[in-house]
Amino acid sequence: MHEFSVRTKRRIEMIDITSEVSSAVRESGTERGIAVVFVPHTTAAVTINENADPDVPADILRKLADLSPERDNWRHVEGNSDAHVKSTLVGASATIIVQGAGLVLGTWQSVFFCEFDGPRSRRVYVTVIPGQ
């Protein structure tokens, strides 16, 4: 298992972590299998989506804000209930095929760390499971 840190700068943001995940796969020495990327935080997430146009992550964050606004009738008193809901909607992990010691991603795809309650220092874990 490989671990790396992500330092976020804003309360809500999407950070491209593709190069860090790719490095973890290369370091594993695995030629073929799957990489599992996991975020051990209840107010953060990981996803795969387009990185060619910065409007795409901005649109995703805007729609998540519409679905789970920061100010609402939340019962949780810490003031970050919206972040918990966003994390649940996006998910704490992503699975990526590994082929030729690299990630199998589409032309425009990147792996994103999603911060919903920053700024913070966060951890990301990558486990590579060899295939047949």
pLDDT tens for 15-33 read 999 999 999 999 999 999 9
C-alpha–C-alpha distance, residues 30 and 33, integer Å: 7
For the chain, list the domains and their CATH numbers.
2-130 (2.60.120.460)
Going from the C-alpha of 50 to that of each of 15, 26, 60, 112, 115, the distances in angstroms are 12, 23, 10, 9, 17
| Identity of the amino acid at 128 | V
What percent of the chain is modeled with pLDDT above 90?
A: 93
**pLDDT in the model for residue 69:** 94
Reference 17, options 9, 6, 1; nearest CA is 6
Q: Are 117 and 80 in contact (CB under 8 A)?
A: yes
**pLDDT in the model for residue 38:** 98
C-alpha–C-alpha distance, residues 37 and 47, integer Å: 9
Tell me: the pLDDT tens digits for 49-86?
999 999 999 999 999 999 999 998 889 988 899 999 99
Tell me: the pLDDT tens digits for 85-119?
999 999 999 999 999 999 999 999 999 999 999 99
Cis peptide before 130 (omega within 30 of 0): no
**pLDDT in the model for residue 5:** 98
